[in-house]
Structure 1
Amino acid sequence: MSATGVDVFDRTLQTTHIWLNEIGEHPSLAPDKQLSWHVLGAVLRTIRDNVPVELAAHFGAELPLLVRGAYYDQFRPEAQPRRLRSREAFLKAISDDLATSRPVDPADAAQAVFKVLAHYLNPDQIRKIRMALPEPARALWPDPDVPVATNG
């Protein structure tokens, strides 16, 4: 049975819940969907504000409809790209956006969202966004072409 009666709404709600659940799997974020929603929006907006406008628009088109709304919240294309030059400045932008939620390590927030984005979005689009970020911010986002080492 449909939750809303509109298939596109049901699909975006389902996808958004999946993303929020995966973000909430990060140990420091706990399974708190409200917090995960704030984290997702803060990280996406920080990405958006630090890449060229055209690339930001292409990236936004890849996002689920509901998530896209959070991504474009308070969007000011004339002020972009912001180009924060240090890791600390990039993380501070995330932290400032999260100021209304409970305290969250912005590096944990970024890594949790980057992991979800890498899992669900087109790898070529991820590479383009990642490479458009300033190098210190890019270092927070593992290169999709480099396998992750596991202990075992």
Structure 2
Amino acid sequence: MSPHRDPLAHAQQRAHEWLTAVAAQLGTEDRHFAYRAVRAWLHLVRDRLTVDSAVHLGAQLPQFLRGVYYEGWAPAKVPVRYDADRFSALFAGEAQVGIAEVPAIAGAVSAAMNGLFSPGQLDHVFTVLPAGLRSELEGRPPVASAQPASHGTEHLRLNALEDTVLLLTDAVSALVRGLEELPTGEPGGGRAAKAAQEAHRILMSRDAVQT
């Protein structure tokens, strides 16, 4: 083995392959633009997920893109509640594009990512997102419709309920993983206690998000 071989060459190549796939889906050769779109997509999807779901998604990214994914992440503050309009504004700002372009660009990135992540991974992520946000990420702008004055309050209530369900799911998953671990020489009660602590940490993040 050559002592001069770049130990990061493979990681760089994998990141380039993913970026190339996104650029192709966007129909551009501007890799800087493709990178900005990927970065915006990764950050906004990440922040709308619970900690457990975000980590599961991040684990499938190439090493270099995983660093981009976790840049600026604040686990104690997720999931961040934003709807399709707020998503579009944030995406446009980070990707440096016009708001009207967001559905097409986000949809193209999603299509590329769907072919890069393991089968079904992105579908699983999208099912836990609000319908309007899911439409934006799939490249389908939500249809505008007249809503009663109470719709805004109801929308916020449903968002809060969705986030609570996600956090409870993460907490239960943490408990199940702890109890199903193979024996490691540690007493079963110790593993169960650690799992309970992790579940408690997840549930406490709910209070942090709501304050």
- The Cα shift of 1:132 comes to 1.9
Structure 1 residue aligned with 2:134: 138
Structure 2 residue aligned with 1:62: 60
SS at match of 2:29: coil
Q: Which runs of 5+ in 2 are unaligned?
A: 139-211
| Larger proportion of helix | 2
- The Cα shift of 1:141 comes to 4.2
Q: Note if 1:40 corresponds to 2:41.
A: no
Q: Which moved more, 1:122-131 or 1:71-80?
A: 122-131
- The Cα shift of 1:103 comes to 5.2
Aligned partner (choices 87, 91, 101) of residue 88 of structure 2: 91
Residues in 2 aligned to 1:64 and 1:118: alpha-carbon distance in whole angstroms = 14
For the structure 1 residues 4 and 113, does the alpha-carbon distance in structure 2 shift closer, same or farther, using more than 3 Å as the test?
farther
2:22–2:113 CA contact under 8 A, matched in 1: no
TM-score computed with the length of structure 1 as normaliser: 0.78
Larger RCO, structures 1/2 (Cα 8 Å, 6+ apart): 1
Residues in 2 aligned to 1:106 and 1:4: alpha-carbon distance in whole angstroms = 41
> Which letter does structure 1 place at the counterpart of 2:77?
A
Percent identity between the aligned chains? 25
Equivalences for 1:1-150 in 2 at 5 Å?
Answer: 5-6=6-7, 9-25=8-24, 26-27=26-27, 30-85=28-83, 87-99=84-96, 105-142=101-138
Residues in 1 aligned to 2:66 and 2:9: alpha-carbon distance in whole angstroms = 15
2:40–2:94 CA contact under 8 A, matched in 1: yes
2:11–2:64 CA contact under 8 A, matched in 1: yes
Residues in 1 aligned to 2:5 and 2:92: alpha-carbon distance in whole angstroms = 34
RMSD of aligned residue pairs (Cα, Å):
2.2
- The Cα shift of 1:4 comes to 5.5
TM-score computed with the length of structure 2 as normaliser: 0.57
> Which letter does structure 1 place at the counterpart of 2:21?
E
How many correspondences in the alignment? 134
